A = this chain, B = another copy of it.
Amino acid sequence: MREFDLLRHIYRSNDRLDRAVGIPPGDDMGMIRFGGGEVLAAVDQLVAGRHVRIETTSVELVGRKAITRSLSDIAAMAARPLCTLVAATLPPEFGEDRARQLFESMRRTCERFECPLIGGDLAFHGDPDHPLVCSVTVLAEPGPTPPVLRSGARPGDTLYVTGQLGGTMLDDGSGHHLTFDPRITEALMLAELLGDRLHAMIDLSDGLGRDADHIAEASEVKIVIDAARLPCRGNASWKDALQNGEDYELCFAASGSVPSEVRGVPITPVGEVLSGETGELPARLCVRDGDTLREAGELGWQHEA
A contacts, CB < 8 Å to B: 2-3, 6-7, 9-10, 13-14, 16-18, 20-21, 23-25, 29-32, 34-37, 39, 41-45, 47, 49-50, 82-83, 85-87, 89, 96, 99-100, 103-104, 107, 111, 116-127, 129-131, 133, 135, 137, 139, 141
B-chain residues with CB within 8 Å of residue A43 when the two chains form the complex: 85-87, 119-121, 135, 137
Instruction: Look across to chain B and name the residue whose beta carbon is closest to the beta carbon of A80.
Output: B34
User: Does the CB pair B47–A89 fall under 8 Å?
Assistant: yes
Least Cβ–Cβ distance between A94 and chain B, in angstroms: 11
The smallest C-beta distance from A279 to any residue of chain B, in angstroms, reads: 34
The chain B residue with its CB closest to the CB of A42 is B119
Let me know if A45 and B82 touch, CB within 8 A: no
A124 to chain B, nearest CB (A): 8
Q: Which of A23, A24, A85, A125 has the most CB of B within 10 A?
A: A85
In the complex, what residues of B have CB within 8 A of residue A34's CB? 37, 82, 141
How far, in angstroms, from A34 to B126 measured CA to CA in the complex?
A: 40
Q: Is B107 a contact partner of A13 (Cβ separation < 8 A)?
A: yes
* Residue contact A118 to B37, C-beta cutoff 8 Å: no
Q: Identify the 3 closest CB pairs spanning chains A and B, nearest first.
A: A30-B118, A37-B37, A87-B135
Partner of A29, one of B36, B119, B130, B131: B119
Inter-chain contacts of A125 with B (CB < 8 A): 47, 131
Q: Are A21 and B87 in contact (CB under 8 A)?
A: no
Q: Contact at A30–B135, with CB atoms within 8 Å? A: no
Task: Report yes or no: B7 in contact with A120, Cβ–Cβ below 8 A.
Answer: yes
Name which residue of chain B comes closest to A28, CB basis: B119
Give chain B residues whose Cβ lies under 8 Å from the Cβ of A39.
37, 39, 82, 139
- By the criterion CB–CB under 8 Å, are A17 and B116 in contact? yes
Known contacts A6-B100, A30-B83; 6 further A-B pairs (Cβ under 8 A): A3-B120, A7-B120, A10-B103, A35-B37, A50-B126, A85-B137
Bound Cα distance from A45 to B118, whole angstroms = 16
A87-B119 in contact given A36-B36, A37-B36, A141-B35 (Cβ < 8 Å)? no
Most chain B CB within 10 A, of A18, A139, A141, is at: A139
Question: What separation, in Å, do the CA atoms of A262 and B87 have in the docked complex?
Answer: 33
A117 — which chain B residues lie within 8 A by C-beta? 10, 14, 25
| CB atoms of A6 and B122 under 8 A apart | yes
> Which residues of the other chain, B, contact A18 by a CB distance below 8 angstroms?
116
